[in-house]
Amino acid sequence: MSSADDRALAQRTRILDAAQVCFQKSGFHCGSMATIAQTADMSAGLIYRYFENKNAIILAIIASQLDIIRQRIRDLRAAEDLGAALLDYFDSQCDPEQQQISVPLFLEMSAEATRDPEIAQAVRQFDDTILSEFTDWLSRSPENNGFGLPQDIAAERALGLMCLIEGLKVRKARNPDMDRALLKKAIDASLTNFVKQLPPASPAD
Amino acid sequence: MSSADDRALAQRTRILDAAQVCFQKSGFHCGSMATIAQTADMSAGLIYRYFENKNAIILAIIASQLDIIRQRIRDLRAAEDLGAALLDYFDSQCDPEQQQISVPLFLEMSAEATRDPEIAQAVRQFDDTILSEFTDWLSRSPENNGFGLPQDIAAERALGLMCLIEGLKVRKARNPDMDRALLKKAIDASLTNFVKQLPPASPAD
Amino acid sequence: MSSADDRALAQRTRILDAAQVCFQKSGFHCGSMATIAQTADMSAGLIYRYFENKNAIILAIIASQLDIIRQRIRDLRAAEDLGAALLDYFDSQCDPEQQQISVPLFLEMSAEATRDPEIAQAVRQFDDTILSEFTDWLSRSPENNGFGLPQDIAAERALGLMCLIEGLKVRKARNPDMDRALLKKAIDASLTNFVKQLPPASPAD
Amino acid sequence: MSSADDRALAQRTRILDAAQVCFQKSGFHCGSMATIAQTADMSAGLIYRYFENKNAIILAIIASQLDIIRQRIRDLRAAEDLGAALLDYFDSQCDPEQQQISVPLFLEMSAEATRDPEIAQAVRQFDDTILSEFTDWLSRSPENNGFGLPQDIAAERALGLMCLIEGLKVRKARNPDMDRALLKKAIDASLTNFVKQLPPASPAD
DNA sequence: CATGAATGAGGATTCATTCAT
DNA sequence: GATGAATGAATCCTCATTCAT
C-alpha cells in the first residue's frame, strides 16, 4: 500500500519534473504531452494514470512553483544582507536544475491568472499568504527577528517588497545580462526605505 | 494610390486590434488565426494579405504594445504627482479599448523573450531606451524638469523605477482588486527614495 | 473590332507565356495563378477574362507545346544529318526562352494524359498526326525527299523513331548532363536501322 | 519487439500502397494526405507516425518504383525473346496491383527530377546503375550470357536501349491502346541493331 | 502497471476564383 | 477593360487523449 503510494508519488514527481523542463523551454501551451513523456522517459499514455489531463499538470506545476517561491521568499528573512539575498534569489533563476524558480513560468502563470479562474485563485491565495507573512515579519519586534514597523506601515512595505521582487523577475526575463553591481545598488536603495528605516516624516503622515 | 494605402493600413489595424483582443483573451499561442479573423470580421485567408504569418502578427502586437508603454511611461514624467500617475498607469490596464497597455500581453511577451530571439531583441531595445530616458530625466537639473541626481545615482534609480513599474504590472495581473490606497502608499514610499531625495550619505559617496 | 481581337490575342499570349514559365518551373499544379499573373505583369482577376479557369490555361499550354513539338519534329525531316538534328532537338530544351520545347511539361502532360480525358485526346490526336506524317515521310520515294520504305515497314519505323525521340526527352530530364558524344553515337546507331536502310532480310519478311 | 517492428513495417507498406494508388490517380501534388489516409483506411494523423511528411512518402514511392523498375529491367536479361519481354514489360503497367511499374509515376518523377534535387539524385543514381549493368551485360561474352560487344559499343548500345525502354513508357502513357503487333515489330527492329549484331563496319573499328 | 498505436479535432497556411470599384 | 481585395474550401500537419494489448 504505502509502497504503491510511494511509487505513485515518484511517478508524479518524475512527470512534473519533466513538465517543468518542457514548459520552461516552450511555454505551457507549446510544451506537448509527447515531449513531456519523452523527457520523463515514459509513455504518453502513462501520464494519464497520474494526471487527469494536461491542464492538471499545468496546475500542478504552478502549485509547485508557488511552493518553491514561497520557500525561497521565506528564506529571505533569514538573510544577513537582504539585498544580496534578493540578488541571489533573482540570480538563481532559469537553471535547468529542479527546485529552482523559473522566471518564464512565473510570468506565464501570472498572465494565465488573468484568464483561468483556477490559476487566478491559486495565485491569489499565494499572494495573500506571502503578503501577510511579510507584514508579520516587518511588524514583529526586532528581538523576534522583525523590524518593529507599525502594522499599517508594515503592510504597505510588504506590498512594496513584493513589487520589487516581482519587478526583478521581469527584469531577469527581459534582460538576463543586466549589470549586477547596478542592480545591487538599485535593490539596496529600495530596501533602505522599505525595511531598514521608518519613513522620515511618519508622525506627520 | 493613397486610398489603397489607407485601406491597407486600416486593414492592418483591424487585424491587429482583433489580434490584440484574442491574444489578450487566450495568449499568443492559443489565440488562433481563425478567431482573429472572426473577431476582425474577415476571412482567415485575407489576413495573409497583410501579414506574412501569425508570428508577424505577434511581433507587430508586441511592437505596438511596446510603443504604447513607451508613450505611457514618457507621459509619467509630466505628472504632478508621480505616485498617482503610476497608480493610473497601473490602473488603466486590461481594458478592451485600444491604446491601453495589456498586462497579460506584457507578461507573456516578457516570458517569450526568454525563448524567441526576435522578441528578446525588441524587448531589450525597448528596455534600453526607457532606462536611458529615465536616467536622463532623473539626472537633468530641476529647472529642466529633472531631479538633478548625479549620473550614477540616476542610473541606479532608473533601474529601481523600472522594477517598480513592472512589479506593479505583475501585481495587477495576479491581484487585480488590490486595495488602491495601500498601493498608493507603497508606491509613494518607493518613490520617496527613488526620485525625491538623494541617498542619506551622498556627501560621503 | 479587329484591334480588340488583336488585343485579346496579345493578352492570351502574354498569359500563356507567363504560364509556360511558371508551369515549367513548378509543374502544372504548383504553378499558381498568382504567380502567373505576376509573371505576366497583370492582375490575377484579369486572367479570367481570357481563360475560363486554370485548367483552360493548362490545356492551352499543352496545345501550344504540342504545336511547338509538331513543328520541331517536322523540321527534322529537312535535316542533312538526322542524328545531329535529333541531338539539337534534344538539346534545345529547358530554355527559359519561348517557343522552346519544355521537357518537364512534356512529361507532365504525358502523365496527365493518363488521368484527364481531354488531355488524353489532345495528346492522342497529336501522336496520330506525327505518326502518320512520319510514315508518309519514310514511305515517300527518295526523289520526294523520302526513304522509299514500304508502307508497313514505314509505319513500324515511324513508331520506333517516335520512341527514340521521346526516350531522349526522358533522358534529358533525368540526366541533363549526359555525354553528348555518346548520345550521338547511340542516336546514330538507332537511326542506321530506322531510316537509312531497309532491314537486311526484308525480301524474306 | 520484432512484432512491433513488423507492425511498423506493415503500416509503412499500407501507407505506401495507398499513396501509390493515390499518386497514380492524381499525381504527387494532387494526391492529398487525406485521400491517402482514407485509401489506407487509417486516420491522417497516423501517417505521420510512419513518415515525417508528405515529401518523405513521395521519396519513398519513388525509391520503391525505382526498385521495381530496376528488378524488372534486370529480369529482361534472362528473357528468351528480348523483344517480347520488352513488350511485356511495357504491358504490365498501370495495374492497380503492387509490384507493377506505374508509367504516370515514372513520368512525373522524371519531370520532378528537373525541380527537386533529392529526386534528381535518386533518379540519377538509378540511371547510372542501370546503364552500367546494361553495358556489362552487352559486353560480357556470349558464353556468359552476354553479347560480346566491345566496351565502347556496349556503352552506346546500353544508352540506346534505355531510350527505347523509356520511349516505350511514354508511348504507353500517351497511347495505351497502341497496336501490339506493330509495336513488337518496332521493338524488334531496334533490338536487331542494338544487341543482336555488331555494327556493319565493326572490323574496321 | 505500462505501452504506443490510433484517433480526430483543430491549427496555420495556400490558392483558385469572384466581384465591387 | 483592369484591379486586387476578399472568400472559403482544401491542404499539410500537430497534439491531447484514448484504448487494446
Exposed e or buried b per residue across B76-85, where buried means at least 16 C-beta atoms within 10 angstroms of its C-beta = bbeeeebbeb
pLDDT at D92: 64
Nucleotide E11: nearest residue by CA–C1'?
A: B32
Residues of A in contact with B162 (CB under 8 A): 167, 171
- B173's enclosing H/E stretch is helix B151-174
According to DSSP, residue D84 is labeled H
Return mean pLDDT, chain C: 88
Rounded to a whole number, what is the distance in Å from the CA of D8 to chain C's nearest CA? Answer: 32
Give one DSSP letter per residue of D20-80, joined into a string: HHHHHHHHHHHS-HHHHHHHTTS-HHHHHHH-SSHHHHHHHHHHHHHHHHHHHHHHHTT-S
Where is average pLDDT lowest: A74-88, C37-51, D188-202?
D188-202
Model confidence band, residue C6 (pLDDT cutoffs 50, 70, 90): confident
Query: Rounded to whole angstroms, how far apart are CA atoms B177 and B174?
Result: 9
C25 touches strand E (CB under 7 A): no
Are C27 and D112 a contacting pair at CB < 8 A? Answer: yes
B25 φ, ψ to 5°? -75, -35
Question: Among candidates A13, A26, A182, which has minimal Cα distance to A90?
Answer: A182
CA B40 to chain centroid, in Å, comes to 24
pLDDT at B94: 44
Sequence-ordered list of residues with C-beta below 8 angstroms from that of D102, at least 6 positions apart, any chain: D20, D24, D65, D93, D94
Residues of C in contact with D107 (CB under 8 A): 107-108, 110-111, 170
C60 touches strand E (CB under 7 A): no
CA of B34 to C1' of F7 (A): 14
Retrieve residue A93's grid coordinates: 533563476
Query: Rounded to whole angstroms, how far apart are CA atoms A189 and A28?
Result: 36
CA atoms within 13 A on the CB side of C13: 8
Is the fold of D1-51 the same as that of D58-195?
no
Rounded to a whole number, what is the distance in Å from the CA of A120 to chain B's nearest CA? Answer: 7
pTM: 0.91
| Residues C111/D108, Cβ–Cβ less than 8 Å | yes
Where is average pLDDT lowest: A92-106, C153-167, D95-109?
A92-106
CA of C44 to C1' of E19 (A): 13
Retrieve residue A89's grid coordinates: 534569489
pLDDT at C142: 86
pLDDT at D94: 44
Query: Rounded to whole angstroms, how far apart are CA atoms C114 and C120?
Result: 7
pLDDT over 90 (residue C48): yes
Domain B58-195 listed as CATH 1.10.357: yes
pLDDT over 80 (residue D38): yes
Mark residue A100 as left, alpha or beta (left: phi above 0; alpha: psi -120 to 50; beta: remaining).
Answer: beta
Are C111 and D124 a contacting pair at CB < 8 A? Answer: no
How confident is the model over B132-179, as pLDDT tens digits? 999 999 999 888 888 889 999 999 999 999 999 999 999 999 999 889
Query: Rounded to whole angstroms, how far apart are CA atoms A167 and A136?
Result: 22
Q: 556496349: which residue's cell? A: D154
| Residues D162/C167, Cβ–Cβ less than 8 Å | yes
Model confidence band, residue C194 (pLDDT cutoffs 50, 70, 90): low
Domains in chain D: boundaries: 1-51, 58-195
How confident is the model over B40-52, as pLDDT tens digits? 999 999 999 999 9
Q: Name which of C114, C180, C195 to mutate to probe chain D: the one with the most chain D Cβ atoms within 10 A of its Cβ.
A: C114
Residue type, C136: D
Model confidence band, residue D199 (pLDDT cutoffs 50, 70, 90): very low
The rounded average pLDDT for each run of 10 residues, N- to C-terminus, in chain A (205 residues) is 76 95 95 96 96 96 94 86 85 57 95 95 96 92 86 91 94 92 90 60 41
The end-to-end CA distance of chain D, in Å, is: 62
CATH homologous superfamily of B1-51 equals Homeodomain-like (1.10.10.60)
